[in-house]
Amino acid sequence: MRADDIVEELLEFIWTQRERGIDSVRDLLRIDEVVEAGGGEEALKEMEREGLVKISGDSVELTPKGAIEAEEIVRRHRLAERLLFDVLDMEKETLEEHACSFEHSISREVADSICALLGHPPSCPHGLPIPRGKCCEETVSTIRPLVMPLTELDIGQKARVVFIVPKTYARLEKLGSMGLVPGSIVRLQQKKPAFVLELGQTTLALDPEIVKDIFVKKAD
């Protein structure tokens, strides 16, 4: 593993630990477990010299500079997982391994293009949040998203539900009870006065406000 890749792996690890509520990583001896090829402790010392982390005794935490870089790495990793899962139909069990290799070759510009292509997904296939990028704030995109709001489907089109971003958890539970979950295949039958979806042998009528929360990828 290249030195730059080791640094990225460590930044990602520390950032995800902080995401879980662990502000500093204890026991530096565990660092080489994160970097399988070894060299983790040397990399940490270099990261401290570059102002990316602060080491105190047996703990290490991100500096503001390190947090910015780490967040960008996590964004690339989770977008890579989303691309591999949604576009290449890879099994969820193999995503982590492939995304770890893929993320190191993705530039910020490529990450933004992937994000736009997938409709600015809020989370990775494992349900973890994808940090927002500048592309998510732009109102105009030159790329037609591969993943789109269900409202943009044409009548008669079939699609697979990719993710749902409901306003409330109760709404998510209600959709789940109907069988409308990520991975479900639906066909749009009508848009007015309500959205009518064909889901297997079931027909669902949904309010437009609820349908806006559902994002899909066209299916054959």
Query: Is 200 inside any structural domain?
Result: yes
Q: 150-199 pLDDT, tens per residue?
A: 988 999 999 998 888 777 778 888 888 888 888 889 999 999 889 999 99
Global confidence as pTM = 0.65
Domain that holds residue 79: 68-137
Expressed in angstroms, the distance from the first to the final Cα of the chain is 40
Whether residues 193 and 161 fall in one domain: yes
Task: Check pLDDT > 70 for residue 111.
Answer: yes
Given a contact cutoff of 8 angstroms between Cβ atoms, the answer to whether 132 and 182 are in contact is no
How far from the centroid of its chain's Cα atoms is residue 89's Cα? 15
Whether residues 43 and 96 fall in one domain: no
Query: Is 119 inside any structural domain?
Result: yes
Whether residues 164 and 204 fall in one domain: yes
CB atoms closer than 10 angstroms to residue 136: 14
Query: Is 44 inside any structural domain?
Result: yes
Strand order in the sheet with 195-199: 147-149, 214-218, 158-164, 185-190, 195-199, 202-206
How far from the centroid of its chain's Cα atoms is residue 61's Cα? 23
Please report the pLDDT score of residue 73 as a whole number. 93
Phi, psi of 198 (to 5 degrees): -100, 120
Query: Is 43 inside any structural domain?
Result: yes
Identity of the highest mean pLDDT range in 53-57, 166-170, 201-205: 201-205
Q: Residue 114 has which token pair?
A: 């992937």
Query: Is 47 inside any structural domain?
Result: yes
Please report the pLDDT score of residue 35 as a whole number. 59
Task: Check pLDDT > 50 for residue 29.
Answer: no
pLDDT above 90 as % of the chain? 20
- Number of domains, the chain: 3
- CATH at 203: 2.30.30.90
Last residue of a domain, one of 137, 168, 184: 137
Strand order in the sheet with 53-56: 25-26, 59-62, 53-56
Is residue 25 within a helix (H) or strand (E), and if so which, with residue range? strand 25-26
Residue labelled with tokens 């593993």: 1
Radius of gyration for the alpha carbons in the chain, expressed in angstroms and rounded: 20
Q: 70-82 pLDDT, tens per residue?
A: 999 999 999 988 8
Whether residues 159 and 203 fall in one domain: yes
Whether residues 170 and 195 fall in one domain: yes
pLDDT above 70 as % of the chain? 87
- CATH at 23: 1.10.10
Query: Is 15 inside any structural domain?
Result: yes
Query: Is 142 inside any structural domain?
Result: no
Whether residues 152 and 209 fall in one domain: yes
Q: Residue 218 has which token pair?
A: 């066209």
